[in-house]
Chains A and B, each alone.
Chain A
Amino acid sequence: MNKQVEELKIQGIGVSEGIQIGMAFLYQKHELKPSSREFYGYDKEIKLFNDATELAVKQLDNLINKNKGVINEKNLAIFESHKMMVQDPSLQEKVSESIKSGLTAEEALNKAIKEIAESLRQLDDAIISERANDVEDIGRRILRNLLGVSEQEQLTFTSEVILVAEDLAPSDTVTLPLNYVKAIITQKGGYTSHTAILARTLGIPAVVGIGEAKNKITNNDELIVDGETGLVIINPTLEEKNTYKSQIKAHNERSEKLKDLSLKDCYTKDNIRIHVLSNIANVSSAKSSLNFGSEGIGLLRSEFMFINETSIPDESHQIQSLIEIFSEYPKMEIVVRLLDIGGDKHPNYLHFPEELNPFLGIRAVRLYRRYPDLLKTQLRAILQASIGFNVKIMIPMVASIADIQFVKQYIQQVQSDLEKENLAFNKNLPLGIMIETPASVFIVDLLANHSDFFSIGTNDLTQYVLTVDRTNENLSYLFNSFHPAVLKAIQVTINAGESNNIPVAMCGALAGVKKAVPLLLGMGLKEFSMVPNLIPEIKSIISQLDMETAIKIKDKVMALESAEEVEKLLDIELKRLAN
C-alpha cells in the first residue's frame, strides 16, 4: 500500500518552459563542522583518522573506476591528485601533532586543512590557489568519513529525476549527470541565475526561487513541474497527473510543428528579413542548436573553456575547442565574446581579491588589464582558429572608448607576434562591443565610431540601469527588463546603430522572451540571439507580425510608466497574435 500522501502546490518563478512529471532528487552540499566531543586519547584518535583516510582512498578509487571513460581525463586526474593529498605525509604529521596536543581527530584535521589551504592562498599564484580548493575538498571528504556522514553521491542517479537544489553553481554542472535531469527546481535564483540559463540551454523545464517551500519536498516525492507558470505540485492526484500528461503531449506536438517552420529563413509578414541566432555556451549546444533553426552564433560564451578548467587553458586547447564549434557553422555568423568572468563567475585558478561589489569590480574587460596574458592567449587562439570562418570578436562590459582601444592594441600586438612566428591567422575580424553598461548607452554614438557592431546584453543592462543585483533573490521582484528605463536604453542603442550604419543585435535574455518580440521589432531590432530551444517559438511569432503593427505596439509601450503596465500590454498583444 502507498502511504497516505497529500497534494501540495508551490509557486516559484518559471524560468524555462515545459512541463515534466517525475521523482524528486534532493541535491545537497553539506557544510560540515566538527562536533565537540570528548578526547579519546592519542591512539584511538589516530586510528579514527587513519580509518577515515583509508576510506577516502577507497571512495576515490571507486569514483575513478566508475567514471573512467565517462568524464574527461582531466577531471579524473583531479581525483588522482586528491588520492595523493589524502595520503600526504605532511598532512598526517600535522594531524598527529595536533592530536598529541589534545585535539580530537576532527579538530586536528580541520586545523591542518585550514593551515595548508591558507598557506597555498598566501602565495598569490593563480594556479596554486586553485589547489587550496582541492585541499579543502579532500578535507571535507575525510571529515565526512570521520563523522560517519554518507557522501551525497552526486554521480549516482542513473534514472531520470527532477533535481531539487538550493542553487546550482557552474561547477555543479560538471559533476551532475545532466542527461538524467528532467527538470530543475531551486530554492534561490531568478530568471538570469545559472540554473535558469542552464535549464534553457538544456531545454528542460525549471522553476526557481521557491524559497523555504523547498523543505516540503523530500526525496522520491512525485512532482509536476511547470516551467512556464512556475507551479510545482508535490504528490499530485491522479486527475491532476492526467491533465498535465495531456498538456505535455500537446506541448510536444506543438514543438515538433514549430521545429519544421524554424528551419526556414525568418521574415516578418511584410517580408523584412530578421536573423535569429543562438547563444552558445559549449560544444554540445553548438551542435544541437542547428536543429532548432539557428542561423549562426550571436553569442559564443567563451567562458566555458575557462570555468571548468584547473588552470588557464593553453592556446592549442582553446584553438581546438573553437574550431570544433566553428566547423558546425560554416559561412554563418559567429560572434565570439571575449572572456566575461568576474562578478559571480570566478574560475578557481585566478586569484581574485575579495571585492565588496564584485559586479562593479574586476569583471570582463577590466579583468584583461589584471591578467593580460589571459587576453593575449585568447586572442591568439581566436585569430588562428577563425581562418575560413565568419567570426567576429565582441568585448563585454565596455564603459569607455579606452576599453575598446585597450583590446585593439592587444589585437595588433598579437597579429604582429603571429606574423613574426610565421603562424597563419584571420586578418579581418570585425570588432564589436556589448552594450550592457549605462555608460555605454550614454556614449553610444561615440562608441559607434570605434566598433563594427553592437550587441545588447539585457541582463547586465537591466542590472546596472536599475541598480539591482541580479543574483539577489530578495530584489528579484525589481529586476525587470521591461522597466521603461531599460527599454529607453535599448531604443537609444538601436537608433544609434541605425544612424551610424552599424548592425545592432540583442543577445540578452529579453531577445528570447515571446511577448518582447513585437516591441523589439518595433524598435528596429533585426538580429535576435537566444538559447537555441527558444528559437522556434520566437521565429514563429516574428513570422506572424508586420512592421506596422510592431511599431504601433512599440509606440504604445514607450508611453507607459512602469514595467508592470508594459508587461500587461504585451501579454494582451501576444494573446491577440495567438488567436
Chain B
Amino acid sequence: MVSSVTIKITNKVGLHLRPAALFVQTASKFSSNIKIKNISRNTGFRNAKSSLELMTLGVSYGHEIEIEATGSDEKEAITALKELVENNFNE
C-alpha cells in the first residue's frame, strides 16, 4: 500500500530553516518510508527524513509538493505532515 497527498505550500519562507526542521522531525517520528517531491520544480522523490535532501527540492512559497509514505503507519504519517503544512508550520 502507498498513501500520498498533494499540497500547496502557503507559509512565507517555504520549506526552509524552521519549517524544514519541523517537517523532518515530524517525518522521522514514523517508521514508514516517506518521500517527497516538488511538483512545481518537477523534481524526483527525495527522502523526507533528510533535511539535506529536502533542501535540494527548493520548496518555496506557492509550490506544490507531493508526499508519499509506505509502511505500517503510512496513513498517520501523511495526516501529520499534511496538517503541519496546512497549519503553515504553526507560525
Query: A88 interface residue, CB < 8 Å from B?
Result: yes
| Given A80-B21, A84-B21, A116-B52, also A127-B16 (CB < 8 A) | yes
Which 7 A-B residue pairs are closest in the complex by CB-CB distance?
Answer: A90-B50, A123-B58, A90-B53, A88-B52, A125-B58, A84-B51, A90-B52
Interface residues of B (CB under 8 A from A): 12-14, 16-18, 20-21, 24, 47, 49-53, 55-56, 58, 60
24 contacts between A and B (CB under 8 A): A77-B17, A80-B21, A81-B17, A81-B21, A84-B51, A88-B50, A89-B49, A91-B50, A91-B52, A116-B52, A116-B56, A119-B56, A120-B56, A125-B58, A127-B13, A127-B14, A127-B16, A128-B16, A128-B56, A128-B58, A131-B55, A310-B17, A311-B17, A314-B12
Query: A135 interface residue, CB < 8 Å from B?
Result: yes
**What's the least CB distance linking B41 to chain A, in Å?**
8
Query: A85 interface residue, CB < 8 Å from B?
Result: yes
For B53, the closest partner residue in chain A by CB is A90
10 additional A-B residue pairs with CB within 8 Å, beyond A85-B52, A128-B56: A81-B21, A84-B24, A84-B51, A85-B51, A91-B52, A119-B56, A120-B55, A127-B60, A128-B16, A311-B17
For A124, the closest partner residue in chain B by CB is B58
A116 to B57 alpha-carbon distance, docked (Å): 12
Cβ–Cβ < 8 Å partners of A85 in chain B: 51-52
A81 to B19 alpha-carbon distance, docked (Å): 11
Within 8 A of B (CB), among A148-186: none
A116 to B14 alpha-carbon distance, docked (Å): 20
A367 to B18 alpha-carbon distance, docked (Å): 28
A128 x B55 contact (CB < 8 A): yes
Q: What 1/0 flags go to A305-332 for Cβ under 8 Å of B?
A: 0000011001000000000000000000
A365 to B61 alpha-carbon distance, docked (Å): 27
A326 to B60 alpha-carbon distance, docked (Å): 33
Cβ–Cβ < 8 Å partners of B52 in chain A: 85, 88, 90-91, 116, 135
A314 to B61 alpha-carbon distance, docked (Å): 14
For B25, the closest partner residue in chain A by CB is A84
Within 8 A of B (CB), among A42-98: 77, 80-81, 84-85, 88-91
For B56, the closest partner residue in chain A by CB is A119
Cβ–Cβ < 8 Å partners of A123 in chain B: 56, 58
**What's the least CB distance linking A205 to chain B, in Å?**
39
Cβ–Cβ < 8 Å partners of A131 in chain B: 16, 55
Cβ–Cβ < 8 Å partners of B60 in chain A: 125, 127
Task: Name, among A77, A91, A127, the residue most crowded by chain B CB atoms within 10 Å (CB to CB).
Answer: A127
Cβ–Cβ < 8 Å partners of B55 in chain A: 120, 128, 131
**What's the least CB distance linking A125 to chain B, in Å?**
5
Secondary structure of the A side of the interface? helix
A89 x B16 contact (CB < 8 A): no
For B12, the closest partner residue in chain A by CB is A314
Cβ–Cβ < 8 Å partners of A127 in chain B: 13-14, 16, 60
| Given A84-B51, A88-B51, A89-B49, also A311-B21 (CB < 8 A) | no
Cβ–Cβ < 8 Å partners of A119 in chain B: 56
For A131, the closest partner residue in chain B by CB is B55
A342 to B52 alpha-carbon distance, docked (Å): 28
Task: Name, among B49, B55, B56, the residue most crowded by chain A CB atoms within 10 Å (CB to CB).
Answer: B55
Cβ–Cβ < 8 Å partners of B12 in chain A: 314
Cβ–Cβ < 8 Å partners of A125 in chain B: 58, 60
Within 8 A of B (CB), among A339-374: none
A127 to B58 alpha-carbon distance, docked (Å): 9
Cβ–Cβ < 8 Å partners of B56 in chain A: 116, 119-120, 123, 128
A119 to B17 alpha-carbon distance, docked (Å): 18
A77 x B16 contact (CB < 8 A): no
Cβ–Cβ < 8 Å partners of B20 in chain A: 81
B58 x A81 contact (CB < 8 A): no
| Given A123-B58, A125-B58, A128-B58, also A81-B13 (CB < 8 A) | no
Cβ–Cβ < 8 Å partners of B47 in chain A: 89-90
**What's the least CB distance linking B69 to chain A, in Å?**
16
Cβ–Cβ < 8 Å partners of A128 in chain B: 16, 55-56, 58
Cβ–Cβ < 8 Å partners of B18 in chain A: 77
Cβ–Cβ < 8 Å partners of A135 in chain B: 52
**What's the least CB distance linking B24 to chain A, in Å?**
7
For A83, the closest partner residue in chain B by CB is B21
For A132, the closest partner residue in chain B by CB is B55
A89 to B51 alpha-carbon distance, docked (Å): 9
Within 8 A of B (CB), among A124-143: 125, 127-128, 131, 135
B13 x A311 contact (CB < 8 A): yes
A89 x B50 contact (CB < 8 A): yes
Cβ–Cβ < 8 Å partners of A80 in chain B: 21
**What's the least CB distance linking A316 to chain B, in Å?**
11
Cβ–Cβ < 8 Å partners of A91 in chain B: 50, 52
A451 to B76 alpha-carbon distance, docked (Å): 62
Task: Name, among A119, A125, A314, the residue most crowded by chain B CB atoms within 10 Å (CB to CB).
Answer: A125
Task: Name, among A80, A88, A116, the residue most crowded by chain B CB atoms within 10 Å (CB to CB).
Answer: A88
A119 to B58 alpha-carbon distance, docked (Å): 11
**What's the least CB distance linking A377 to chain B, in Å?**
12
For B51, the closest partner residue in chain A by CB is A84
**What's the least CB distance linking B49 to chain A, in Å?**
6
A77 to B21 alpha-carbon distance, docked (Å): 10
Cβ–Cβ < 8 Å partners of A77 in chain B: 17-18
**What's the least CB distance linking B33 to chain A, in Å?**
11
**What's the least CB distance linking B85 to chain A, in Å?**
18
**What's the least CB distance linking B36 to chain A, in Å?**
12
A128 to B63 alpha-carbon distance, docked (Å): 15
A116 to B54 alpha-carbon distance, docked (Å): 11
| Given A84-B21, A128-B55, A128-B58, also A311-B16 (CB < 8 A) | yes
Cβ–Cβ < 8 Å partners of B13 in chain A: 127, 311
